[in-house]
Structure 1
């Protein structure tokens, strides 16, 4: 028979050997994983305020651009009590300051009137004292003339007495007249000096008018009282204006707070796809309620499992080839991270499930280079698709395999 021919047996042996090489060669030259899944992260969009959804949000699977409104929320039940209180406080402070300014303006007018009256009184007093000084100066001159006449008459009579013409009594009478004239002259001089002192004091604003009278007239006293009152009003006006300014700042902050709680637009954080949505038009939401999840297609990756014995052969930066299951296109990738079998994997922000295993397998994350998958928004960027991943071995590692086998035998 043909099967008993030597050539046939040789050919069959060669075929079986070639088949074995074909079956073993992929494992010797690289790592192949069939449990990979295209994965990506998503952003959870929460409600920034309590309220009601006012417009129809984007549907699941819709592409959204960065900053595009995802939901518009309105809240008509915002507490405005603090805002109303601040508005009342601000209005009260402003009105009080305005009333105090009106009172101050009236007192300023009264102060000016008193100042004008005081100016008239001062000028009149100065003019009167100047006239009195002038009159007294005239009297001083008259007294000087009378003193000279009395002195001449005394000298003449004294000379006549020495000749025996006049008696001593007539001389003494002339002496008395002369002394009286000298006293009048001295009194007039002192009176002039006193009036000049009063005049100088009035010019300096001090009125020394006589016994029992004040050194400041009523107009000046009243003017001083008005000035004190004006200064007090200026202080109170400044306090109320400061209070109004402070309340105004608080009022602006409170208005901003109420405005932010009354209406809010939720923007898309990036260019992506609506992965899931929990709201419709008219939905009531509360603060931090999850509204929807936005898939980030800009960073696609694949998580695969590789036996932990090959941990040393795989490292970040190693190139990889990724093929979608059932498709012929091959996508380039690069190893992003290598984790041991006991490492805790992240799950909360991943769109697809990571491969599960009960064996000792390393978790390898392979990042996908930018490709058509990143813009395939209608198909959710192929997230969730199963893939085959091929990782090359830097060397065949037969000797490493032999050492591992020898170690396991020992």
Structure 2
């Protein structure tokens, strides 16, 4: 019984020492802080700044208006030049429309004249053809009267004779037949719209002029179509110029995403800012990470992707984590775009970043930027009991 008590006491002492030493020797961080990247919103244009009323640390919704920049001195020369060019195209189009209308009226009048001339010419040819056919019939009938002799004598001029013509009567009959055939050809051609006669080619002056006007109207129509295409292209340029002018006249700064915090104001309200000036900063809580520092001995045992755990100060719940970045000593530059800057004591140790997905999905936890805790990289003797009392 005496030795049993002694063995139990020694075992209890050894277990206690194992727990104390194991808890103290576990690879852990001295300090760990929930951090997140900071987004700096800059002015896209130059103008007067108008800030919206937001408290520092306020939670923002996506596309929530944060500030507006108004430029009352926006350049309108480019848009005015394009509008002037459009007005000139419209004036040219109206002039061509008037020309086409005037030429169309002249063409219609000439077409009417051509139609009247064609009817009159056809009637004239019909009359001449009838007379020529009668003369041919008289000559073919061989009328020996005085009329036939006079008819024969009428075509005995030297200029009407052909070489080798047998007699004057035969010449007259041949001339009559030629006259009939000529008039038939002229009449048939006229019915097809071709004019045969002396003093013109295949159409009278009115018809030739009408054809010229048709060509001018067609050319003006092609030019009008070309101007229409140019106008459509110019309207697209004007639309882009108006859009650009609108963007240069007023620009709004909105929250780029959900789950963000209003972090810092970099400009005073109602001041004049230039293009590219920083206006304000917001924190993206959806990209939260854990930044911490460890000793050199612990740092040299870590690797990217290694499993770890994180616990908030004053709580027992452990959040699974993985090692995301090993920045090492003097890691001041990696904190330039993070919300929480490192302390001087932190920079004296070796910087490590942990990725904790549950921090970004836990709705009850919210945006825990700035909250502190500890990170662990090895198992500890009391982890089993911590799980029981979770």
State the TM-score, normalized to the length of structure 1: 0.75
Tell me: CA distance 1:191–1:364, structure 2 relative to 1, closer, same or farther (3 Å). Answer: closer
* Superposition pairs of residues 33-112 of structure 1, within 5 angstroms: 33-54=29-50, 56-112=52-108
Equivalent residue, structure 1, for 2:386: none
Contact 2:47 2:70 in 1 (8 A): yes
> For 1:31, what is the secondary structure of its paired residue?
coil
**Separation (CA, whole Å) in 2 of partners of 1:347 and 1:276:** 16
Q: Does residue 145 in structure 1 map to residue 141 in structure 2?
A: yes
Cα deviation, residue 57, structure 1: 4.0
Contact 2:22 2:380 in 1 (8 A): no
**Separation (CA, whole Å) in 2 of partners of 1:180 and 1:372:** 126
* Superposition pairs of residues 389-400 of structure 1, within 5 angstroms: 389-393=375-379
Count, aligned residues: 352
Q: Does residue 234 in structure 1 map to residue 214 in structure 2?
A: no
Equivalent residue, structure 2, for 1:24: 21
Pick the structure with greater CA Rg. Answer: 1
**Separation (CA, whole Å) in 1 of partners of 2:167 and 2:289:** 133
**Separation (CA, whole Å) in 2 of partners of 1:194 and 1:14:** 146
Cα deviation, residue 90, structure 1: 0.6
Contact 1:94 1:241 in 2 (8 A): no
C-alpha distance after superposition, 1:18-54 (max 9, x if no partner): 77544412134x2222222221112111112222234
* Superposition pairs of residues 167-316 of structure 1, within 5 angstroms: 180-210=168-198, 212=199, 215-270=202-257, 271-310=259-298, 311-312=300-301, 316=305
Tell me: CA distance 1:334–1:188, structure 2 relative to 1, closer, same or farther (3 Å). Answer: same
Name structure 2 gaps, 5 residues minimum. Answer: 1-6, 147-165, 382-390
Equivalent residue, structure 1, for 2:370: 384
> For 1:269, what is the secondary structure of its paired residue?
coil
**RMSD of equivalent CA atoms:** 3.4
Contact 2:51 2:68 in 1 (8 A): yes
Tell me: CA distance 1:87–1:376, structure 2 relative to 1, closer, same or farther (3 Å). Answer: farther
Cα deviation, residue 88, structure 1: 0.6
C-alpha distance after superposition, 1:333-372 (max 9, x if no partner): 402325263585622211112363445x462425262389
**Separation (CA, whole Å) in 2 of partners of 1:295 and 1:383:** 9
**Separation (CA, whole Å) in 1 of partners of 2:180 and 2:12:** 153
**Separation (CA, whole Å) in 2 of partners of 1:209 and 1:279:** 93
Deviates more, 1:280-289 or 1:19-28: 19-28
Equivalent residue, structure 1, for 2:155: none
State the TM-score, normalized to the length of structure 2: 0.79
